[in-house]
């Protein structure tokens, strides 16, 4: 009888703890709006910023993007400059993500301390690299991120330490043939939320171009392995309307958008500006002088 009673009490206690854990998990505050949108099945687009000007960052962060892709792999941006930009536009609807220059512990620590809610890891060739990135990005018991200084608490709330592991979004970029071959293992790493197909570098490393069978086979393999692992799939914004199954997109850089915007503005003012003499901007209208 005593054994039976003890067993029953143990079962009830275990059930209560499970219910308590589930309820607690459901109560975690989610402030990473990109993660919420992805979970809801929506597509998200990030504008790329590679300049240290806070005004440009704020213009991008308020332009309608879901997040800002702060480019630190291919830019001279420092973490101090990135921190000032994030703070200058802390109330903007687009939230900060950082493509880190490398996946070292110190680099990921700095990116998270300045307030980034997303970590984009470039040049991923192995599952081990992403397992390390996850460990560096998350607090114990899921990782080994240190509690240091930074503006993250002022940005995201006093419960940041308790809610961080549920809010961070960790993306692996596959850019090489080696990474493509390991796509299944990379996508399956616990804590990795998504895989980004780096279209340009995939072509550079493979020597193939979009539309060619070998190139498309590489893309298809990454896509299939990512979907099999139940992770989000990312790519350039040009793929948003061209390819199915993608949710996470990188838009052009600020310099590209300025160039595109200037051309659109000039064409609107003068439809003949970029057309040769004698051409007709609209059927039925007089030709350009």
Is position 7 within any domain?
Answer: no
Position 20 in a domain: no
Is 11 domain-assigned?
no
- Tokens 């390991």 -> residue: 182
Angle between helices 213-228 and 199-206 (to 10 degrees): 130
Sequence-separated contacts (24+) of 14-17 with Cβ below 8 Å:
none
Cα distance between residue 31 and residue 36, in whole Å: 8
pLDDT tens for each residue of 44-59 = 999 999 999 999 999 9
CATH number of the CATH domain containing 212 = 3.20.20.60
* Residue at 191 is within a domain: yes
Please write the tens of the pLDDT for every residue from 224-247: 999 999 999 999 999 999 999 999
Residue 287 lies in a domain: no
> What is the rounded CA–CA span in Å between residue 240 and residue 235?
8
Q: Report the number of distinct structural domains present in the chain.
A: 1
**Three-state secondary structure call for residue 174:** strand
Which residue matches tokens 């700095």?
Answer: 110
Query: DSSP letter at 239?
Result: G
Long-range pairs for 23-28: beta carbons < 8 A, 24 or more residues apart: 25/166, 28/162, 28/163, 28/166
Structural domain span for residue 67: 31-269
Judge whether 18 counts as a catalytic residue. no
Phi, psi of 276 (to 5 degrees): -70, 155
Q: Determine what percent of the chain falls in helix, strand and coil, rounding each to the nearest 5.
A: 45, 15, 40
Locate all alpha helices (DSSP H) within 114-240, ordered by sequence. Answer: 127-137, 152-156, 160-167, 177-181, 183-187, 199-206, 213-228
User: For the CA atoms of the chain, what is the radius of gyration?
Assistant: 23
Tens of pLDDT along the chain (289 residues) come to 433 333 333 333 343 334 334 434 458 999 999 999 999 999 999 999 999 999 999 999 999 999 999 999 999 999 999 999 999 999 999 999 999 999 999 999 999 999 999 999 999 999 999 999 999 999 999 999 999 889 999 999 999 999 999 999 999 999 999 999 999 999 999 999 999 999 999 999 999 999 999 999 999 999 999 999 999 999 999 999 999 999 999 998 888 898 888 889 988 898 888 888 888 888 878 888 8
Cβ atoms of residues 202 and 174 within 8 Å: yes
Give the active site residue among 18, 74, 154, 263: 74
């Amino acid at each position: 009888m005593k054994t039976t009673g003890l067993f029953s009490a143990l079962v009830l206690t275990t059930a209560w703890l499970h219910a308590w854990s589930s309820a607690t998990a459901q109560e975690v505050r989610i402030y990473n709006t990109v993660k919420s949108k992805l979970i809801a099945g929506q597509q998200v687009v990030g504008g790329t910023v590679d300049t240290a000007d806070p005004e440009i960052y704020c213009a991008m962060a308020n332009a309608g993007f879901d997040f800002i892709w702060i480019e630190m792999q291919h830019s001279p941006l420092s973490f101090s400059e990135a921190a000032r930009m994030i703070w200058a536009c802390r109330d903007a609807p687009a939230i900060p993500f950082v493509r880190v220059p490398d996946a070292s512990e110190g680099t990921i620590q700095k990116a998270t301390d300045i307030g980034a809610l997303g970590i984009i890891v470039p040049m991923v060739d192995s599952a081990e690299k992403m397992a390390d990135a996850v460990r560096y990005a998350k607090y114990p018991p899921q990782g080994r991120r240190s509690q240091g200084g930074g503006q993250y608490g002022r940005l995201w709330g006093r419960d940041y330490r308790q809610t961080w592991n549920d809010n961070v979004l960790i993306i692996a970029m596959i850019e090489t043939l080696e990474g493509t071959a390991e796509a299944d293992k990379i996508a399956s790493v616990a804590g990795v939320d998504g895989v980004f197909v780096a279209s340009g570098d995939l072509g550079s490393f493979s020597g193939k171009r979009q539309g060619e069978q070998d190139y498309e086979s590489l893309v298809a393999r990454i896509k299939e392995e990512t979907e099999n692992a139940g992770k989000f799939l990312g790519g350039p914004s040009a793929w948003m309307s061209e390819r199915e199954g993608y949710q996470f997109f990188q838009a052009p850089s600020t310099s590209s958008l300025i160039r595109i915007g200037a051309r659109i503005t000039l064409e609107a003012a003068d439809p003949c500006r970029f057309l040769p003499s004698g051409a007709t901007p609209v059927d039925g209208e007089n030709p350009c002088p």
